[in-house]
Amino acid sequence: MPAVARPGRDVVRTRILDAAADEFAEQGFAGAKLAEIARRAGFTKGAVYSNFESKQDLFAELFAQRSLELAGRVLAEISGLDLADAVGRGGAEIASALTADPGWSLLVLEFGVQAGRDPIVEQAYLRERRYLRGKLVELIGERAREWAVDIDVRTTAISLMALISGLVLEHSVDPEEVDERTMGEAVTALFAGAVARADRPQ
């Protein structure tokens, strides 16, 4: 009987991350269990630990992955647009993503609250937030150079991350008032303000 090939490391990590997404969505961050994630993925708990140090590290990587996927969607949406159109389209795309999966957005908030109370969770949360912030600085900086505007990219990235967190919370408790259109307009206003304050090279 021929030996069955073992899945490669990348395949294992992908299956674990997919299973973790389902477990976290159903149980929340605090209620999710690594043993159940392993079962969903079809592996042992040891396989999870061989790829991720802890539940918080697993969630942090999942969070970073999804955040960068959203950034990629926004970039694809605004590709080739002029500055004015890109600002509005980008805000609308971010709002659409946030309202399409409100459960995930609340999970990120739960993770942040846990980080404020648990030093171990804080380490994973801080690492991934700083990584994401750095990526946003790069991406915003690239678009700013493309449109020849000299904006404060670090402040804009920090403001965007904070605004998204606040909008997610407000939308979750008052979706009629803080709807997708309002969320898009808020993000658009943030970018428009950054552009309005920018120096434009001559």
The proportion of the chain whose per-residue pLDDT surpasses 70, expressed as a percent, equals 95
Q: Is the pLDDT of residue 202 over 60?
A: no
Tell me which CATH homologous superfamily contains domain 1-52. Answer: Homeodomain-like (1.10.10.60)
For the chain, the 3-state helix, strand and coil shares in percent, each to the nearest 5, are 80, 0, 20
Beta bridge partners of 199: 150
DSSP state letters, 101-134: -HHHHHHHHHHHHHHHH-HHHHHHHHHHHHHHHH
Q: Where are the domains of the chain?
A: 1-52, 55-196
pLDDT 10s digits, 81-96: 888 899 899 999 999 9
Provide mean pLDDT across the span 163-174: 91
Domain 55-196 falls in which CATH fold?
A: Tetracycline Repressor; domain 2 (1.10.357)
Confidence of residue 200 (pLDDT cuts 50, 70, 90): low
Q: Is the pLDDT of residue 191 over 60?
A: yes
Q: What is the mean pLDDT of the chain?
A: 88
pLDDT 10s digits, 12-56: 999 999 999 999 989 988 899 999 999 999 999 999 999 998 999
